[in-house]
Each structure stands twice: as C-alpha cells, then as structure tokens.
Amino acid sequence: EVQLVQSGAEVKKPGESLRISCKGSGYDFTIFWISWVRQMPGKGLEWLGRIDPSDSYTTYSPSFQGRVTISTDNSISTAYLQWSSLKASDTAIYYCARRGDAHLDYWGQGTPVTVSS
C-alpha cells in the first residue's frame, strides 16, 4: 500500500528556520516525483514545486521560487520542504503528494505550520 506520512505540526516564530518531512512507503521512492502543496487557512490549494528523487532535479512555482527549498534523502525514502526564514504568511497546512504533474495520486496527511510571534 502506497503511503506518504508527514511530520507533525510545527509552531515557529517569524525569522526561524524549519524543515518538514514526507516519508514514502509501499513503492519505489526514486521512480516518482514528489510535489508540495500549500493550503492557507480557509483557502484553496497552491502548488509550491516538485522534486525528482532519482537525480534531485527540482522545479518551483514562480510564486515560491527562492522562498522554499525541496530536497530528498533517498536512503530513508523521505522528501523535505524547508524555509530559512519563516514569515507569518507561511502559516498553512502543507501537503506532499506523489508525482510532479497535476496527477497527484497519493497525498500525505498534511503538516500544519503556524508562524506567530
């Protein structure tokens, strides 16, 4: 059974750094891209970017380029989304999903991130 299991909720202060994770199981992690999707409180879905675990090639939405970094550790079948300096506007639920196009066939359960002073 394909599963994407994400790390737990985070509460951070503005300016702090953060890395959240997404562990894949039940399939060959290196074959499928991983995408990250944001959902701000009460809002819709926004695609942040994607990574090809086989070669770590990444692409980002223009809206998020330079704001976040996507990476993987294939030895533990885990993808990461990280920020170097959080803002209050980063408060949202972040989902990882399998595949790098609009056909997002499996989703993680989501990681709530709260940024508040």
Partner 1 sequence: QSVLAQPPSASGTPGQRVTISCSGSRFNIGSHEVYWYQQLPGTAPILLIYNDNQRPSGVPDRFSGSRSGASASLAISGLQSEDEADYFCAAWDASLSGVVFGGGTKLTVL
Instruction: Report the interface residues with partner 1, using CB under 8 A.
Output: 35, 37, 44-47, 49, 59-62, 95, 101-110
Strand partners, 81: 20, 70
Residue 23 burial class via C-beta count within 10 angstroms: exposed 0-12, middle 13-18, buried 19 and up: middle
- Minimal distance, residue 95 CB to partner 1, in Å: 6
Task: Give the span between the Cα atoms of 117 and 26, in whole angstroms.
Answer: 39
The kind and range of the H/E element at 95 are: strand 92-98
- Minimal distance, residue 15 CB to partner 1, in Å: 28
- Minimal distance, residue 50 CB to partner 1, in Å: 8
